[in-house]
Structure formats: C-alpha cells, structure tokens
Amino acid sequence: MLAALGLAACGGGGSATAPSTGSVNTGGNAGGSSGQGTGGINGGSTTGTTNFILTSPVMIEGGAMPGEHSCDGHAGSPPLAWSGVPVGTKSLALVMTTIPADGVTKYNWLLYNLSANRQALEAATFGVADYGVGSDGPVPGYQPPCSQGGGAKVYTFTLYALSAPVNAAAKPDGVTLTGLLAPLTLAKASLNVSYTRSASPSGSSSACLLVRNAVQGGGGTAQVGCDAQYAYISSEGLPTHTMMDGITASNLQVPTAQRFLGTNAWRIPLTPRLADAPTSVTDGPVGVAVNGVPIFNPCKQGGCQNGDTKVLGELDLCNGHAGRADDYHYHAAPTCLMSTKAANYWDTHPIGWALDGFGIYGYNDADGKPAVRDGVCGGNALPVSNGPQGYKYHVTDASPYVMSCLRGVPSPDLAGQSAKFSPMRQPPVQPFAVSAMSLRSDAATGQQVLRFSSTRTFTTNETGQDSYANPPGSYQIRWKALKGDELEAALGLANNRSKTACWAFEFKSEAGATTQPPITYCR
C-alpha cells in the first residue's frame, strides 16, 4: 500500500485491548404503566422496555464512580455494558450528564452512532462512535468530573436505543444532540452514580493546575487529570491546525487518531527533580505539546546517525509529520500551535511538557531576550513562569530544536514509549522525494485526503506480500474512520478481535483512477 513506504523515524509497537463486556444484568423488573423498570444490583432505570439495562463492571446504581475516571485520576471514561436492546434498534447513543447548583444540565460525554450490535464500552473507550462536545468544550469526547464545590455530585449515564442513525453536524453540543435523539428514541436505560471530591483533590493541586492551565491555554482538545504523582495529558494526538503541508520527503504514512487516553495518557511528573545525570533522548517522544500532540527528538528512528528529519524535508510547515503508527507528532518547535498566540506568550507559558515534568517554552526567556541554553540539555535553570521551578527547556531553530536530553528524572513513559503506539500497517521503508503534499478533508465523503506528486516510479504494498508500481504523477490517499455497523463488522474478523478502531483506505491517482485495492486497517 502507499503508506507502506513508511518513515523509519518514529513510533513503536504496541497493542490495543479488546472491548470489555463488563458485568451485564438482565434481571430488570417491570415498573408502572409508564413502561419503566429497575435493574438489579448494577443496573439503573429503563424507559420503553423492562429489559434494556445499562450496567458497569466498576460502578453500581446509586454507588460511587471510581476517582480514576475523574480529573483526580487519569481522567479516562469508565467501562459500561448493556443488555436487552429492543427489537428494531438501528443505532445507539450515550449521554452523560450532571445537574450542578445552578440547575442547568451539564453534559460530560456525548457519543452517538454506536452500532446496535455493540454490547459494551471498555474503559477509556476509543474509536467506536462519533463524538459530541460537552459543556466544558471545546474538547470532544469524555470530559471527566471535576466539580469546584464540595459534596457528592450525581452523574447520569443514559443509553438511547434509536430507530435510525443520527444525522448531525460534526461534534454537536449536548442540547443539539439530545434534541436530535428525541424523535428517534425507542427506549432509554440509565445508570446514576456519584463522585465526591476530597478536601484537597489531586486534580486541583497547584502542580496539577500548572499543567491543566497550560493545556487549556493551548486551544487544543487535550484533557488533564492528576493523581498524587502524575499529570495525565490525554488526547487522540491530532492538532486542530493543518498537517502534512510542505513535506518534500515522505514515507506516505498518514495522521490518524491515537489512543492516548486513560492509563495510556502521557504521564508527566508533578514534582520534577533534577537527575544525577542527563538521560539521552535520541529516539522517540521526549514530551507532549499543550494540544496533546507528542514532541519527538529531531532524529530518525535508530538515532541521529540516520539523519535529521527537518533537514531531510520530512517535516511539514508546522514541524510535524506522520510516523510509523500513522501518528502525528512534532520534531521541532510546533510553529502552527505557537502562531495561535502572540509570540511573547510562549516566553512565559509552556508550549508543552517534557517527560521529566519540566516545561518547554518558546524562543525567549521571560525577559524577552533569546533564551540561555546550557551545554547539557539545551535549557536553563532561570526562574520560571507558569511551570515548575528548577529547570526549563526552550525551542530553537537549530538542532536539536527542543532538547538533546532530559535533565530531570524521566517519566515511565520514556522507557515504555513503544506501548503508546500501535502500528497497523506493514513495516515502512525509506522516504522518497515528493512535492505538492497537502492534507484536506473531503466534505462530500467525510474522508481525509493526502495529495502528493512524485517525479519517479515508486512501488507500494498493502500486506507485505503484494506490490503495486506507481508511475510518475499525482496521487491521493483517502481514508475514513469506520463507525457503527461497519466498525463492528471489521472488528468481528479474526485478525481484528484484539483491536478497537478501524480506518478504510483508498488509493487513487489525482485523476481518480484506483491504483491499488481499497483496504481496511485496524488498531
């Protein structure tokens, strides 16, 4: 396949986990004439059928939500399971709400166009449906409980059985989505749980707020939760700015969503400390930007002896590209992210966080002068604004661009970085020269479209056991995440049963001719 011309520069191996079926209670009892019923020990209430029950393996009706699913933990969504989906259901939707002191319903989680054949959502669910944007926008997906007042807060998960899929504009808010659900609803099942924050919650500690405030100021779609030891920066790894434009040497990998969620979120030490000796970062990620996109070292996979990705033309105009896991990441200053603020903003606000817990800042120190860069890791120990004291890194336009080593004690994510990434395609080969590369959405089909031109013939493969010769010319790689029944069908194949998300790929010439067979890849 085209993307099998992969860059030998980035990403490692990993595996996704299979969806959990959880604990399912089918023993609902009929309610009154309204058609409502109550589930057993785990199930909440139902409307429209007595057998439609929503449960969880970690929560019971009227019980407590584990703190790990709040902003006082890793902030990933909790696992859920259900049974008794009524006959005629064509689609499912899930809505999580709470009613704060002002009495206005707040939306924490909006998922729609789930397959009617699905029976569960695993913890930190990924890639299974369309997202809406909750009340703590602009972040789509799960927004963990993080109340500011004391006392228990009740959160309601409502599963909707629908007579048809939902036709919604991208990322609707809660009021819009529930309005669209109303005329399609055949039945509802709910589960009510509570969460009570402690008097000194870890998700509101001063160290945690430094990370959360930086991420919220970055304007991306990342979330932050904190336990006593780490801040967890969770995201699907894609920025809101354009990607892939201007690349002149490409492996033809493409940016797809990543599961940096729940326990797989990026762990940033909350109390960073200087190490006895620096740690080399010649391979893989060294930090994460405030928009949730990983920051890599400048080198190709295997070390800097294999080349500098920026010098080789492998980076886009934002200093990022897609690596072996079809993941987007930066290798130098994330200039498109930085352009969203006045230049001097990044003198005093982190662009991101290194994997040792120290902040990564812009080109200048807080006084506006070019940053002092020591001869150790490329940072300095001058006083810090909006970040932890003791050390800080600064980006520069000269290699190594961000840092040459970690000055502090690394997060476990440095050693375990390969577990963060799950390649879904054949091993890559060396990049080759391209021109006119761009990535845009096709509104008519919902596909992402990567366009490029080549002046020479190149050979691609899909499975590692086939090959396709492509003459000089212009080409398109088109892909789209599968949802609903299409996703369930793909995940039902034997080779995909340990996976959670899938993408359908097409390969065409710019004129629209198919250059190799369409194929679906899952991770």
- pLDDT tens digits for 85-143? 999 999 999 999 999 988 999 999 999 999 999 999 999 999 999 999 999 988 899 99
pLDDT band at 251 (very low <50, low <70, confident <90, very high): confident
Instruction: Count CB-CB contacts under 10 A for residue 345.
Output: 13
- The four Cα atoms 483, 484, 485, 490 give a dihedral, to 10 degrees, of 30
Model pTM score: 0.90
Residue 428 lies in a domain: no
- The four Cα atoms 395, 399, 405, 411 give a dihedral, to 10 degrees, of 60
What is the pLDDT at residue 47? 72
pLDDT band at 5 (very low <50, low <70, confident <90, very high): very low
* pLDDT surpasses 70 at 18: no
Residue 33 lies in a domain: yes
Of 299 and 472, the one with more pLDDT: 472
81 and 11 in one domain?
A: no
Contacts of 42 (CB under 8 A, 6+ apart): 23, 25, 55, 56, 59, 60, 61, 191
* pLDDT surpasses 80 at 23: no
223 and 176 in one domain?
A: no
Residue 243 lies in a domain: yes
Of 183 and 403, the one with more pLDDT: 183
Domain coverage including residue 89: 29-56+73-197
Contacts of 276 (CB under 8 A, 6+ apart): none
318 and 257 in one domain?
A: yes
pLDDT band at 151 (very low <50, low <70, confident <90, very high): confident
* pLDDT surpasses 60 at 203: yes
Of 298 and 223, the one with more pLDDT: 223
pLDDT band at 307 (very low <50, low <70, confident <90, very high): confident
How far are the Cα atoms of 43, 155, 246, 258, 518 from residue 428, in angstroms, in the given order?
Answer: 47, 45, 21, 18, 19
6 and 47 in one domain?
A: no
Residue 120 lies in a domain: yes
300 and 241 in one domain?
A: yes
155 and 78 in one domain?
A: yes
Residue 455 lies in a domain: no
Of 167 and 301, the one with more pLDDT: 167
What is the pLDDT at residue 43? 60
304 and 411 in one domain?
A: yes
SS3 90: coil
Digit-coded pLDDT (tens) for 397-453: 999 999 989 999 999 999 988 889 989 987 656 789 999 999 999 999 999 999 999
* pLDDT surpasses 80 at 493: yes
Lowest-confidence region among 38-47, 214-223, 450-459: 38-47
What is the pLDDT at residue 382? 96
What is the pLDDT at residue 21? 33
Out of 373, 404, 420, pick the residue that ends a domain: 420
302 and 164 in one domain?
A: no
355 and 217 in one domain?
A: yes
Out of 386, 420, 454, pick the residue that ends a domain: 420
* pLDDT surpasses 80 at 164: yes
Nearest Cα residue to 147 out of 106, 206, 93, 190: 106
What is the pLDDT at residue 356? 98
d(CA 235, CA 240): 12
353 and 225 in one domain?
A: yes
What is the pLDDT at residue 19? 32
Percent of the chain clearing pLDDT 70 (strictly above): 90
What is the pLDDT at residue 329? 97
Residue 337 lies in a domain: yes
What is the pLDDT at residue 50? 67
* pLDDT surpasses 50 at 4: no
Percent of the chain clearing pLDDT 90 (strictly above): 77
* pLDDT surpasses 70 at 513: yes
What is the pLDDT at residue 218? 86
How far are the Cα atoms of 39, 49, 512 from residue 28, in angstroms, in the given order?
Answer: 4, 9, 54
280 and 319 in one domain?
A: yes
Mean pLDDT of the residues in the chain = 89
222 and 188 in one domain?
A: no
pLDDT band at 378 (very low <50, low <70, confident <90, very high): confident
Q: Are 367 and 380 in contact (CB under 8 A)?
A: no
Q: Are 153 and 108 in contact (CB under 8 A)?
A: no
Residue 90 lies in a domain: yes
* pLDDT surpasses 80 at 326: yes
d(CA 457, CA 463): 20
Residue 440 lies in a domain: no
Out of 197, 228, 260, pick the residue that ends a domain: 197
Q: Are 218 and 337 in contact (CB under 8 A)?
A: yes
**For the residues 204-218, what does the mean pLDDT come to?**
95
Number of domains in the chain: 2
Lowest-confidence region among 17-26, 159-168, 271-280, 414-423: 17-26
What is the pLDDT at residue 42? 53
